[in-house]
Chains A and B, each alone.
Chain A
Amino acid sequence: MAQIFHRSTNFIARFSLFSAIFLAGLALTGILALARSPYFTRQNISREQPVQFSHKHHVGDDGIDCRFCHTSVENSATAGIPPTKTCMNCHSVLFNNAGYLEPVRESFRTDQSIQWVKVHRLGDFAYFNHSIHVSKGVGCSTCHGAVNQMPLIFQANTLLMQWCLDCHRNPEAVLRPLDQVYNMDWKAPDDQAKIGHDFAVERKIRSTVELTSCSTCHR
């Protein structure tokens, strides 16, 4: 009886079997990687803004303190985006006819808000509170990165729950002296483990069990 298959098909059969397994594994890894990729987390992606506001210039060069604009960072959940008025306080005199500031002046004239593109975004089910973090000694740059180096603001970290938990499971690693919280250039000293631990004790940072309870962030 004539052969249906060439003997090479033996190899093909075996090969396809193994490659199937391999591909499945590869696909899974791919999905997991994709979920962590900037495409979804939007890490390191800066957006086109109505006004190309440069944190680098205002913070880095002019050395304006974060709280000058983000006024509610110390007492509210949200750090607060400054009203047009805040911009105009300076820009009614400085660069007061620069073309690229026209949107600001227009907003102030027409009483229509400037629409900024939101860069740092958490799920609506995650209730992050700025004030508690800064008052316990978690610095701005810990989460927002070196904002003073950013001509256009971008998200320096993944903001994935995994990433939040890293800190909540081990806050000691990032705690700073309270006077360094708004210092963009602060670098963890070599004995961070020790001083971090001291800060944790002194500021009564709650235990990991407490910091990782679901209701700490989800309501």
Chain B
Amino acid sequence: MSDHEHKYGIVRSGFASTNPEDPDNHPPTAEERELREYPLDIAAANAKAKSGTGKQYWRSIEELAGDPHFEDLLHREFPRAASEWDESVDRRGFLKLLGASMALAGMAGCGRPPEQHIVPYVKQPDGLILGKPQQYATVMPFGADAVGVLVESHEGRPTKIEGNPDHPSSLGATDAFAQAAILDLYDPDRAKTPTEAGDIRTWAMFQQAAQDLATAQKSVNGAGMRILTGTITSPVLAAQIEYVLKFFPQAKWHQWEPAISDGAREGAKLAFGRYVNTVCRVEKANVILSLDADFMANGPGHTRYMKDFYKRRNLTGPNDEMNRLYAVEPTPSVTGSAADHRLPLRASEIELFARAIAAKLDLGGSATLSKDAERFADAVAKDLQKNRGASLVVAGEQQSAEVHALAHVINAALGNAGATVYYTEPVEANPVNHAESLHELAADIHKSKVDLLLILGGNPVYDAPRDWAFSEFEQKLKKVHTVVHVSSHYNETSEFSRWHIPETHFLETWGDARAFDGTYSVIQPLIAPLYQARSAFEVLAAFTDKPGVTSYDALREHVKTVLGAGDAEKNWRKSLNDGLVAGTALAPLPVSAKFSPASLPPAKAHNADEFEFIFRPDPTIYDGRFANNGWLQELAKPITKITWDNAALVSPVTAQKLGIGRTIASRGGEHGQVRSSVVDIELSNGKVSAAAWVVPGQADGVVVLPLGYGRKNAGETGTNKGFNAYAVRGSNALWATTGGKVTVTNDEYPIACTQFHHNVEGRKIVSSASLEEYKKNPNFAHEKDETPPNGLTLYQNFEELGYYKHYKWAMAIDLTKCNGCNACVVACQSENNIPVVGKDQVMRGREMHWIRIDRYYESGLETEKDDDSEIPALANPPTYFQPVPCQQCENAPCEQVCPVGATTHSAEGLNDMVYNRCIGTRYCSNNCPYKVRRFNFLRFQDWETPSLKLMRNPEVTVRSRGVMEKCTYCVQRINNVRIESEKDNGGVGREIRDGEIVTACEQACPSEAIVFGNANDPNSRVSKLREKVNPRAYNMLGELNARPRTTYLGAVRNLNSDLEKA
């Protein structure tokens, strides 16, 4: 047990008392009991299944299968309808409800609540203090990376995921995916039991079947056996696969990751003659060129890279220097929007641009660019030259091998290799060209060579390319005698598999993984599997001579080899406590680029006026694996602010050419619903209709098709949302293709867009400047400042009333550091039990996020409709992101108007929101100039689904229908820390240290743009970022004299004078 204290008094404990064999490690405290009923049933059944003889066992499984509740959960189509609210009710139902509600209305005042029970432990686990959350370290495997996380656990229920400060891929921060992973664990649509052709089976039965299949294969040395996985960085799992392959010499292992391109791998081969793993040291680079690389939001180590990047953007005063980022990309990405200079280029032109840079650096080769691009390239090349050894060129995930090779060469030539970037052995256990690998598999299937196919994770039927090899992959699967599919949900692929085994969530299983830099990380479970789920490891084991072996045993075995000398048990516990084994990052490889740009074939001229279609993983649901995650579905995409859908993205000019129309629907309007033209997109291998969406700053002629939507069997939340871009994706052009047709139909499609208006109308909302301007005029943020002097108000003066004595909570948000990555939004949703409302409600302007990120374009024009006059200005506009939580005003307009005093001023200056006092007049929201208040117009919370109840944070009230809610500065965290601090020194107490309280958004933010603290303490970080101290600090709409406690720091861009528009 580690004694190492963690923030807000949470003991970060080393060893999760959970291991898969424990039938139940849930908290038997009062509330949980009934809401845990369902998982318990299964757990019990599991236990029986394990212990009992075949007979009893059969009985129990029949009970199980017969149990209506179970059947219900297993088969019902809509377990929890996000749009339930608008379902029609038949007459009798209506009358019933009517009666009920009348009764309720009557009872509300005088109902006597029923008895409750307390259910204590029988034997309380060691180290558990009732009512105190614990944190455990683990990692979230994601592509060729593993994100280190700390998971908060309340009496055995994991409730919140946070970054692990000790882990290289996190350094304490997380992205939106990691934050939302907790919802995947409790997703009620998860597959709950093994099935064979759709019928419920048990693990033991599968093991039996597996053994039979194995013996059959054994006879032919596994000639008919194939294993299909995604990218695997887990040594233990890889070892297991190797073991299986040894067992079946002629079996083959194939890999397919739909959203990770082979460009990086093949580029390395091209440049170095072998696969290597590229690791950047972003913080060391003064100048960074992104060749269509969204390195802050996508790909291995992106969270870490974002943190490093913004380390170089700390502006304490006008004398500080910043790094500079150039982005060349076809469509605005999170990284690109944050860039100091950005050039929209078609995806195919990126390679030309790279060649041009190489040429300008005298590396041979040549390329002709457009005038603007040429000018841009000159400036970039000059800047790179100036910063030899301190510059960095990053090639994009979705770019070709050539671009990656060019990037390697340029970095080498600039002496960056070894300085700002280094190369290691691959992190992937078995790096192969996925496209070829999958092709090979498909070919074998085609030739009927495959009898047994194990699909470990993934969903090829949905996301495999749709042309030669894979036209109707499902048809192919039918040729395979037995398909065993392991996945968390029963998805498109499962339908075509004989066996489906529910896969454990990473919070339910033991395992390991390597981080982007190779660091060996341990996955420990926070909770026993909620359902009859198994890890891929155990499924593989079932086919070997050691079917019983658990991933825990294997892990312990493997870790011995990693830990090396010393007290094994001690090291093991330390690695569990840290979530990683220190010093296991892969060593830099001494590779040198043997590749000359000159050797490249002449670039093929492309026709500028034919459309270019590019595929991108969706910014919130990635390749579709998060399609059933309500938090990510409802999360507004960073750039487009679209929720619940994807759309074919085009530039304003292209939209005008095509005549794509958009009308702001009067329901919801700018904040909710926009009707957009539907376009038919026809590519060589398919046709799909999609809603079009205009994206300022996108390259003309480019149509972006985000992947991950159009799922046919994702679960109740994710099914049939958006359009399926995979349907037109060919394996010969996985990332970009031309020669397709776009036809605008007369249909319109309603898009749920949380922010349509992109212009600040010249108001004091976002202030920005270039570094030069900032140096010249550090007060730029206070131009046309009209903040009235203190005390110029009729509201009561709280200081005089004895408020703000001890603490004066405040938050500072640095707009220089925000790139709209959305991590804070999901973190807040997870911490504060914020409900998902569904597309229909979002379209009515009723989404519940306590913190929203407004996205504004510096379009120069001040107009409320996006008419043609704006198009030139929107070709490539500077973009600004502004996170807006409750501003916690000192002169709070909301407090003055609440008739029942449900929102009041706390002694520490918070605008307290008291849900149980609120009657829901919504007056406060009307009177809030920042519109940060959210109202439960309907019963948005899911009160039925048991698993979702397990997920809730017990420290925060779950709001019901008809009450207002809003950001509280995570008052539960404030209170917990305050209580701890006041108990210190034998009840005398002490001051709260700066940084002791960390709000959820601050905790998640990779760029440390959000700082929370005590404004009374002149030495706190936040005080240094507040008005009068830091000239960049300003109040949003200061002239209203609301005196927000949340202040902003003006956005500063480090512009290159050569490129500044004259």
B117 touches A219 (CB 8 A): no
The interface stretch among A13-21, A59-67, A114-122, A187-195 is: A114-122
Contacts of A132 in B (CB 8 A): 979, 982-983
B129 within 8 A of A: yes
When the two chains form their complex, are residues B912 and A214 in contact, meaning their CB atoms are under 8 A apart?
yes
Binds B, one of A78-86, A92-100, A143-151: A78-86
Q: Within B961-1020, which residues are at the interface with A (CB < 8 Å)? A: 968, 971-972, 974-975, 979, 982-983, 986-989
Which B residues are in CB contact (< 8 Å) with A210? 805-806, 907-908
Q: Are B115 and A136 in contact (CB under 8 A)?
A: no
B28 located at the interface, meaning its Cβ lies under 8 Å from any Cβ of chain A in the complex: yes
Residues of A within 8 A of B806 (CB): 206, 210
Q: How far is the CA of A145 from the CA of B401 in the complex (A)?
A: 77
Neighbouring B residues of A113 by C-beta, 8 Å:
28, 119-122
Determine if A135 is an interface residue (Cβ-Cβ < 8 Å).
yes
CB contact list, A40-91 vs B, under 8 A: 40, 47, 72, 75-78, 80-85
> What's the minimum C-beta distance from A99 to chain B, rounded to whole angstroms?
20
Chain A residues in 8 Å Cβ range of B975:
127, 129, 215-216, 219
A112 proximity list for chain B (CB < 8 A): 122
Q: Identify the closest chain B residue to A125 (Cβ).
A: B916
Is B1040 interfacial (CB-CB < 8 Å)?
Answer: no
On whether A214 and B906 interact (CB within 8 A), knowing A76-B131, A204-B982, the answer reads: yes
On whether the beta carbons of A219 and B957 are closer than 8 Å, the reply is yes
- A80, closest chain B residue (CB): B130
Are the CB atoms of A135 and B987 closer together than 8 Å?
Answer: yes
Task: Tell me, yes or no, whether B910 is within 8 Å of chain A by CB.
Answer: yes
Asked if B955 CB lies within 8 Å of chain A CBs, one says yes
A209 contacts B803, CB within 8 Å?
A: yes
In the complex, A76 Cα to B124 Cα: how many Å? 15
Across the interface, do B986 and A117 meet the contact criterion of CB distance under 8 Å? Answer: no
Residues on A with beta carbons closer than 8 Å to the beta carbon of B197: none
Cβ B112 vs Cβ A204 within 8 A: no
Encoded as 1 (CB less than 8 Å from any B CB) or 0, chain A from 176 to 189 comes to 00100000000000
Bound: A113/B958 CA distance, A: 27
Interface string of B580-624 (1 = CB under 8 A from A): 000000000000000000000000000000000000000000000
Chain A residue numbers with a CB within 8 Å of B955 are 127, 219
Q: Per DSSP, are chain A's interface residues mostly helix, strand or loop, or mixed?
A: loop
A83→B28 CA distance, assembly (Å): 10
Q: Which residues of B contact A80 (CB under 8 A)?
A: 129-131
Report the count of interface residues on A (CB-CB < 8 A). Answer: 52
Q: Contacts of B1062 on A, CB cut-off 8 Å?
A: none
A170 contacts partner chain B, Cβ-Cβ < 8 Å: no
Q: A76–B129 contact, CB under 8 A?
A: yes
The answer on a CB contact under 8 Å between B117 and A84 is no
* CA gap between A77 and B28 in the complex, in Å: 17
Please name all residues of chain B whose beta carbon is closer than 8 Å to the beta carbon of A121 when the two chains form the complex.
113, 116
Contact of B989 among A40, A77, A84, A204 (CB under 8 A): A204
Q: Is B914 an interface residue (CB 8 A)?
A: yes
> Chain A's nearest CB lies how many Å from the CB of B251?
44
Whether A209 lies near B987 (C-beta < 8 A) is no
Cβ A135 vs Cβ B983 within 8 A = yes
Contact B915 A218, beta carbon cutoff 8 Å: yes
Chain B residue contacts of A34, Cβ below 8 A:
110
A82 and B915 in contact, given A118-B115, A127-B975 (Cβ under 8 angstroms): no
Contact with A along B95-132 (1 / 0, CB 8 A): 00000000000000110110111111111100001111
Q: Which B residue's beta carbon lies closest to that of A204?
A: B989
Could you tell me which residues of chain B, from 1004 to 1059, have a CB within 8 Å of some CB in chain A? none
- A contact residues around B982 at 8 Å (CB): 132, 135-136, 204
Shortest CB distance A169–B (Å): 13
CA of A31 to CA of B910, assembled, Å = 35
Contact present for A213 and B116 (CB under 8 Å): no
B988 and A114 within 8 A (CB): no
Contacting pair A81 B957 (CB below 8 A):
no
Specify which of A81, A111, A123 is in contact with B120 (CB 8 Å cutoff).
A81
CB distance from A132 to the nearest CB of B (A): 5
* Residues 933 to 950 of chain B near chain A (Cβ within 8 Å): none
Of chain A, the residue at the smallest CB distance from B969 is A215
Q: Which residue of B lies closest to A212 (CB)?
A: B907
Inter-subunit contact A118/B117 (CB<8 Å): yes
Is A39 part of the contact surface with B, judged by Cβ < 8 Å? Answer: yes
Residue A107 at the chain B interface, CB threshold 8 Å: yes
A108 CB-CB contact with B under 8 Å: yes
Task: List the B residue with the shortest CB-CB distance to A136.
Answer: B987
Q: Are A215 and B988 in touch, CB under 8 angstroms?
A: no
**Contact, CB under 8 Å: B907 / A76:** no
Taking the closest CB of chain B, its distance from the CB of A105, in whole angstroms, is 11
| Closest Cβ–Cβ distance, residue A58 to chain B (whole Å) | 16
User: B850 → chain A, closest Cβ, in Å?
Assistant: 13
Alpha-carbon distance A214/B968, docked complex (angstroms): 12
CB <8 Å contact, A81 and B979: no
Interface contact A213-B986, CB-CB below 8 Å: no
**Nearest-Cβ distance from residue B347 to partner chain A, whole angstroms:** 49
Name the B residues within 8 Å of A36 (CB-CB): none
Would you give the shortest CB distance from B194 to chain A, in whole angstroms? 27
Query: What is the CB-to-nearest-CB distance from B255 to chain A, in angstroms, rounded to a whole number?
Result: 45
Whether B131 and A209, one on each chain, are in contact in the complex, defined by CB atoms closer than 8 angstroms, is no
**Any A CB within 8 A of the CB of B802:** yes
Report the nearest A residue to B128, measured CB to CB.
Answer: A72
**Neighbouring B residues of A127 by C-beta, 8 Å:** 955, 972, 975
Contacts of B989 in A (CB 8 A): 203-204
| Chain A nearest Cβ from B125, distance in angstroms | 10
State how many angstroms separate the Cβ of A68 from the closest Cβ of chain B. Answer: 14
Contact with A along B733-770 (1 / 0, CB 8 A): 00000000000000000000000000000000000000
Chain A residues lying within 8 Å of B987, measured Cβ to Cβ, are 135-137, 178, 203
Give the distance to chain A from B20, nearest Cβ to Cβ, in Å: 18
- Report which residue of B906, B968, B987 has the largest number of chain A beta carbons within 10 angstroms of its beta carbon: B987
* CB neighbours of B905 from chain A (8 A): 213
Chain B contacts of A206 at CB under 8 A?
A: 806, 907
User: Counting CB contacts under 8 A, is B792 at the interface?
Assistant: no
The residue among A34, A114, A213 with the most chain B CB atoms within 10 A of its own CB is A213
Q: Which residues of A contact B122 (CB under 8 A)?
A: 83-85, 107-108, 111-113
Smallest beta-carbon distance A35→chain B, Å: 8
A117 cross-chain contacts in B, Cβ below 8 A: 115-118
Supposing A125-B916, A202-B988 touch, asked if A114 and B907 sit within 8 A by C-beta, the answer is: no
Contacts of A85 in B (CB 8 A): 121-124
CB distance from A77 to the nearest CB of B (A): 4
Please judge, given known A-B contacts A75-B129, A113-B122, A207-B907, whether A214 and B914 are in contact too, CB under 8 Å: yes
A127 to B971, CA, bound (A): 12
- Known contacts: A135-B987, A178-B986. The answer to whether A114 contacts B130 by CB under 8 A is no
Chain A residues with CB under 8 Å of B239's CB are: none
Instruction: Tell me whether A131 is interfacial, beta carbon within 8 Å.
Output: yes
Contact A78 B130 (CB under 8 A): yes
Between A and B, 26 residue pairs with Cβ closer than 8 Å are A34-B110, A39-B112, A72-B130, A76-B130, A76-B131, A76-B132, A78-B130, A81-B120, A83-B120, A107-B122, A108-B122, A113-B120, A114-B119, A117-B117, A118-B30, A118-B117, A125-B915, A129-B975, A135-B982, A178-B987, A210-B907, A213-B912, A215-B971, A216-B906, A218-B957, A219-B975
Additional 14 contacts, C-beta under 8 A, given A113-B120, A213-B910, A214-B906? A31-B110, A35-B110, A85-B124, A113-B119, A117-B116, A117-B117, A118-B117, A118-B118, A127-B955, A213-B908, A213-B912, A215-B912, A218-B957, A219-B957
Closest 6 CB pairs of A and B: A213-B906, A78-B131, A210-B907, A214-B912, A83-B121, A76-B131
Q: Which residues of B contact A (CB under 8 A)?
A: 28, 30-31, 109-110, 112-113, 115-124, 129-132, 801-803, 805-806, 904-908, 910, 912, 914-917, 955-958, 968, 971-972, 974-975, 979, 982-983, 986-989
Report A's interface with B, CB cutoff 8 A.
31, 34-35, 39-40, 47, 72, 75-78, 80-85, 107-108, 111-118, 121, 123-125, 127, 129, 131-132, 135-137, 178, 202-204, 206-207, 209-210, 213-216, 218-219
